[in-house]
A = this chain, B = another copy of it.
């Protein structure tokens, strides 16, 4: 069955400002991981309660908190209370139907975006909403799922060789954005494969109804991906325009790099959309071509045998006065006609390029 584009928003009807998880429940248990690092040190810990954050609040070291699973609303509520997050931001974190956006608050920034996760077999995409709360020394990452999406960043922090440890929360933000945007390239590669294969088999003119539904499925996916990818460009542009102290001048070049990648993704998506549209046109042409071929066979058969059958009909009549019936050479002569007519017609059809 075709996937829904507009997730049922079970909140409609509720007063604004009610905290409730909206979306398909991907994880029933919430996992919280704290990575605390400075130039010299890295600590990594899985914590059970929000109270354990408190000690990180006013430290000098960078703290990255990853919260995976959004069903435990009270955790979000507590974080909101401790760090002074606006009620609407908390709602947005919990409601997984958000459009990617960037918002600036007094002492923190809020980013929400979608990560595209390609599925294995057949081309199909799932989305994971990722929210970032960026404070001076703390970055919260809220994810719907426990997966290893951010694992490479963790690795780099642990390794300690990269720029991470000496940069602030803006560089960590960049690293997360970069990871999420680059995720799209994997998707585009598999999309490219599917479309190219489809195009090749379509032009080899074996249009089948299956192809039609593949085209429509891919088109829907492309439309749906574009929806989540295209706001990224504006999101990063807003970050660059922002005058917040939380985004330092030297991070700009990194954000521009992510922006370049995002533009490339959006451009590719647009190209695929165009190609899919023209594939549909080609499909239609292909079906017409096939029908044409069928029609020609019918016409050739009918045009050759219908006149001949008429001839046999004549000499099958039972009139008493039909002189030809008694001629000795009538039958062989008729056979000559039976052979001549088709030959002439076949030459005619050949000339018309129907054969």
- Taking Cβ atoms with an 8 Å cutoff, the residues of A that contact B are 1-6, 8-9, 11-17, 86, 88, 92, 97-99, 101, 103, 152, 156, 162-163, 175, 178, 182-183, 185-186, 188-189, 191-193, 196, 199-200, 203, 205-206, 209, 212-213, 216, 219-220, 223-224, 227, 253-254, 256-257, 260, 263-264, 267-268, 271-272, 274-275, 277-278, 280-292, 294-299, 301-303, 305-322, 324-331, 334, 338, 353-354
Instruction: Offer 13 A-B interface pairs, CB within 8 angstroms, sorted by A.
Output: A6-B191, A12-B182, A15-B152, A16-B257, A92-B257, A205-B212, A227-B267, A287-B289, A295-B299, A301-B303, A309-B313, A315-B319, A319-B331
Chain B residues, CB < 8 A from A297: 299, 303
Q: Please state if B302 and A306 are interface contacts (CB–CB under 8 Å).
A: yes
Q: In the docked arrangement, what's the CA distance between A8 and B189, Å?
A: 6
What B residues does A289 contact at CB under 8 A? 209, 212, 287
CB distance from A154 to the nearest CB of B (A): 11
Which 9 pairs from chain A and chain B are nearest by CB? Answer: A312-B313, A315-B317, A298-B299, A203-B213, A316-B316, A9-B185, A301-B303, A305-B306, A12-B182
Q: Say yes or no: A321 contacts B330, CB within 8 Å.
A: yes
- Chain B residues near A86: list those with CB within 8 A: 253
| Bound: A312/B223 CA distance, A | 60
Closest to A192 in B: B6
With A and B bound together, what is the CA distance between A314 and B335 in angstroms? 9
- Give this chain's copy count: 5
Residue contact B306 to A5, C-beta cutoff 8 Å = no
Cβ A196 vs Cβ B309 within 8 A: no
Specify the chain B residue showing the minimal Cβ separation from A3. Answer: B196
17 more CB-based (< 8 A) A-B contacts, given A6-B192, A203-B212, A322-B331: A4-B196, A6-B268, A9-B185, A12-B183, A15-B156, A16-B175, A199-B216, A205-B212, A206-B353, A209-B289, A212-B282, A219-B278, A223-B271, A308-B310, A314-B338, A316-B316, A318-B325
Contacts of A212 in B (CB 8 A): 203, 205, 282, 285-286, 289
Across the interface, do A278 and B280 meet the contact criterion of CB distance under 8 Å?
Answer: yes
In the assembled complex, the CB of A278 is this many whole angstroms from the nearest CB of chain B, namely 6
Are A254 and B310 touching (Cβ within 8 A)? no
- Give the shortest distance, in Å, between A171 (CB) and chain B (any CB): 10
Tell me which of B9, B256, B302, B306 contacts A182 (CB under 8 A).
Answer: B9
**Which residues from chain B contact A320 at a C-beta distance below 8 Å?**
325-326
A288's nearest neighbour on chain B, judged by CB, is B287
Measured between C-beta atoms, what is the minimum distance from A114 to chain B in Å?
13
A183 to B297, CA, bound (A): 49
A1 in contact with B328 (CB, 8 Å)? no
The answer on a CB contact under 8 Å between A16 and B301 is no
Min C-beta distance of A138 to chain B, whole Å: 22
Given contacts A297-B299, A302-B298, contact A5 B284 (CB under 8 A): no
Which B residues are in CB contact (< 8 Å) with A284?
281, 284-285, 288
Within the complex, which residue of B88, B213, B298 is in contact with A303, where a contact is CB–CB below 8 Å? B298
Nearest-CB distance from A198 to chain B (Å)? 10
Give bound CA distance, A264 to B11, whole Å. Answer: 15
